[in-house]
Structure 1
Amino acid sequence: MTAKLRVKKVYKIFGDRPKEALALLAEGESKESIFQTTSQTVGVQNASFEVDEGQIFVIMGLSGSGKSTMVRMLNGLIRPTSGEILIDGDDVASCSGSKLRDIRRNKIAMVFQHFALFPHRTILENAAYGLKVKGVPAAERNAKALTALEQVGLSSWAHSKPADLSGGMQQRVGLARGLATDPEVLLMDEPFGALDPLIRREMQDELLSLQATLKKTIIFITHDLSEALLLGDKIAIMKDGRIVQIGTAQEIVSNPADDYVAAFVADIDRGRVFTAETVSSEPSVMQLNTDTAGDAVRTMEDQNLNAVYVMDGEEIAGVVTYQQAATADRDSGPSDVHLSDVMQTDYPTTDMDTQLADLYGAASGGLPIAITDADNRLVGVVEPEAVFAQLSVPSETAESDEADASTAPENTELKLEDAR
């Protein structure tokens, strides 16, 4: 894929002696000690990452981690002390004021946590505001704003005022305003942080649904790890201005980079992070018209399987267990039993994207779960033990209560004002 945004070795020091702070960072001094000795605040240090076009890239961290400083540098509200921020090759960190205004007008839009709606303007006027700033004629901007409101399900509220809408609906207006300008990059700074949990989850689902169609490049800021894991194609976890790990949700939960990240993921519902694809394996199959119960027994013994799928050409005919095949083969003589006499035609199926939490019931039945594609072809299987193994708590997590409390982050649901 093509990288839409590249961040290269970005630092941000707040204060009038940034070179001194940078020198101390190079010597390995901590953010806290630098502040104590120089009164300079390290906002971001040595941050590098790439965001592919059409990707949701989540930057996650607690209060003071540097995530809000980072997103403000991405659109030029704050200039970095050093480093590059490239959007399609244009360096937001060092470009001229006129070039920065052009990037903001044509490539970037931002959605804020607190909606930032004008109370005296209609919903349509609020959604069209970014287009008005760009100088788009009234008829054109209203048409584009109405399209954006339709995308978020609020076209019927176009002539209402913000006070008439719930918090979740107001946030949808903020999202529509961002979409109306048709930005190439959408920056979302804790957009759902002020919503109650139920509405927040609805907005998360709404964003994923919109992204499936619009395929925008989105940088999403959050303090909530569960939200990050749900939304992010890639996730960057920040601490003390540093990015401590970048990866997919599965990579971060499976292989936390350090004790800090491990403490975050200890209580995560793994069933909502991993999918059938995560634990799938290549299917071993028998052919209905050529193989026998004896063939199935030997295959399962050789591959240490409890059951195997039976195919009629490219279609699934059924599944046969070791007990069924072995009993029939023993009672009727070697390799004499047709698979149709021992297989069962009722079997569990799923697709690659199904979360493991939704497979627990099927796995409890003991049969391998058939993974099928859009044409109902068998493309993999999920063995029950693979589901249970992935859902089980790792031993390191089980011992987390004994870990040094200094390495454990605060509650990921705790909402604090992000420090610089």
Structure 2
Amino acid sequence: MSRLQAEHLFMVFGRRPEEAVARLKQGAGRDQLRGEGTTAAVIDASFTVEPGQIFVVMGLSGSGKSTLLRMLNGLLEPTSGHVRFDGEDLTELDPRDLREVRSKKISMVFQHFALFPHRSVLDNAAYGLEVQGVPREERLKRATEALELAGLKGWEKSWPDELSGGMQQRVGLARALATDADLLLMDESFSALDPLIRRDMQDQLLELQKRLKKTIVFITHDLNEAMRLGDQIAVMRDGAIVQTGTAEDILVTPANDYVASFTQDVDRSRVLTAGAIMADPETAIGSTTADGRSLRTAQDVIAAAPATVDEDTPIIELFTPCSTSSTPVAVTGGDGELVGVVPRARLLAVLGEPMTPADEVADVPGLVKTGDESNGKGDAEGKVTAGA
């Protein structure tokens, strides 16, 4: 079962919000409602988040992403729609039960650190547990463990003003981790940090996620951050989700021009992986290498490949092997079996670079170029022959 489900969420501010939702469902535009004094902050947002997944909501300022996040834990009551957490409809809970869920099962990490200046780092990290009524000895123990996870071991007795911005944000993260909540909601949590510190915090979050397998909804306006962190990414525009998918989905098949404009400056070589672009291994089996070796089995392909990588390898690591050999790079699964190949032509195509005729020939299975390739002299007529 999905950990979190958002079902047709609408959030409308202003006059007659229910009437505005009905009009939106009938096709009324956001600008039309704004002209009448009504703001549609979120429009028909639906998605699911699986256990242990980082789900990133990305959009520009005013796109509705922070409003959406606040509906997920009941800080804002949707005008219409439902939020289900572990099968329980949060929109149907009374205020007391909702506070109970928020205090024990859902934690938030905000953009601004919101630390108490008169409390030590340890007491700040333990604050959520104090709210829950956890005895002091236990909450300090759990807060100490959370600070160690967040990379702040040895700073427990320090004061917030003695820490850098990145370290203060780590305290905020530790406070969320100490509660052992099932769901972390992170609202632009790293956007106030300098670029180098921000990347360090992203590394920290990814490392923590490997160990803790939390379910996380992460809000950001930065596409590179979304691509780096998100198992799934939802792109918002004007209150609506315009595309949901993996980083590869959004880069390779943007849903519209708006999404495409976001992705045009992304370094694809560091986001896309071998598994995302690989061809079926059958395309290499039965072909012949440039030096005449016949690739009859999967093991032949692996043996002849200039490199063997796993599916999660960034394609930037494929440039060198693809540039030194016309034989495809082999992609293997966890059991070492061949699951795909990455020919040079496919790598260039994904990066959007034009191919030369030589590139096209080099990557056609079963074909090799005639002529003396070592000295750059090909067949005078540019012939292509089947490899023996």
Check whether TM > 0.5. Answer: yes
Larger RCO, structures 1/2 (Cα 8 Å, 6+ apart): 1
Q: Does 1:4 align with 2:3?
A: yes
| Residue 349 of structure 1: aligned partner | 308
TM-score normalized with structure 2 length: 0.85
For 1:121, give the aligned amino acid.
R
Q: 1:388 aligns with which of 348, 371, 381?
A: 348
Residues 20 and 373 from structure 1, CA distance in 2 versus in 1: closer, same or farther, beyond 3 angstroms? Answer: closer
Matched residue of 1:237: which SS?
strand
| Between 267-276 and 213-222, the greater mean CA deviation after superposition | 267-276
User: Does residue 1:300 correspond to 2:296, yes or no?
Assistant: no
Aligned to 1:330: none
Q: Give the deviation of 1:349 after TM superposition.
A: 2.5
**Residue pairs, 1:57-76, within 5 angstroms:** 57-76=55-74
Match for 1:250 among 227, 234, 248? 248
Alpha-carbon separation, structure 1, partners of 2:221 and 2:315: 25
Equivalent residue for 2:27?
28
Q: Which runs of 5+ in 2 are unaligned?
A: 355-388
Which residue of the partner structure matches residue 318 of structure 2?
359
Paired residue type of 1:392: G
Partner of 1:123: 121
Which residue is 2:140 aligned to? 142
Amino acid at match of 1:300: S
Q: Aligned letter for 1:111? A: V
Q: Deviations over 1:66-112 (max 9, x none)?
A: 00100011111111111101111222223101110111122100000
Residue 319 of structure 1 is matched in structure 2 by: 304
Matches within 5 A, 1:16-415: 16-37=15-36, 39-283=37-281, 299-300=286-287, 318-319=303-304, 347-366=306-325, 367-373=327-333, 377-392=337-352
Tell me, in whole angstroms, the C-alpha distance in 2 between the residues paired with 1:19 and 1:373.
Answer: 51
C-alpha deviation, 1:162, in angstroms = 1.1
Structure 1-normalised TM-score? 0.78
Secondary structure of the residue aligned to 1:172 is: helix
SS of 2:47's equivalent in the other structure is strand
Cα deviation code 1:235-266 (max 9, x no counterpart)? 11111111111111111111111111111112
The runs of 5 or more residues in structure 1 that have no matched partner are 287-295, 321-346, 395-420
Aligned amino acid, residue 27 of structure 1: Q
* Number of residue pairs matched by the alignment: 353
1:301-344 per-position Cα deviation (integer Å, ceiling 9, x unaligned) = 6x999976688x96988428xxxxxxxxxxxxxxxxxxxxxxxx
- Could you tell me which amino acid in structure 2 is paired with residue 350 of structure 1? V
Cα distance change, pair 126–93 in 1 and its aligned pair in 2 (3 A):
same
Q: Give 1:280 shift.
A: 2.2
Tell me the distance in 2 between the aligned counterparts of 1:143 and 1:351: 40
- Give the 3-state SS of the residue equivalent to 2:134 in structure 1: coil
Letter in 2 for 1:232: G
Query: Counterparts of 2:290 and 2:173 in 1: how far apart (Å)?
Result: 52
Counterparts of 2:190 and 2:303, CA distance in 1? 46
Q: Aligned-pair distance for 1:378?
A: 4.3
- After superposition, the Cα gap between the structure-2 partners of 1:51 and 1:304, relative to the gap in structure 1 and judged at 3 Å, is farther
Identity of aligned residues (%): 52
Separation (CA, whole Å) in 2 of partners of 1:306 and 1:135: 73
**CA deviation map 1:324-371 (0-9, x unaligned):** xxxxxxxxxxxxxxxxxxxxxxx3232211111222122111242233
Paired with 1:317 and 1:241, the residues of 2 have a C-alpha distance of 48
Q: Which moved more, 1:15-24 or 1:154-163?
A: 15-24
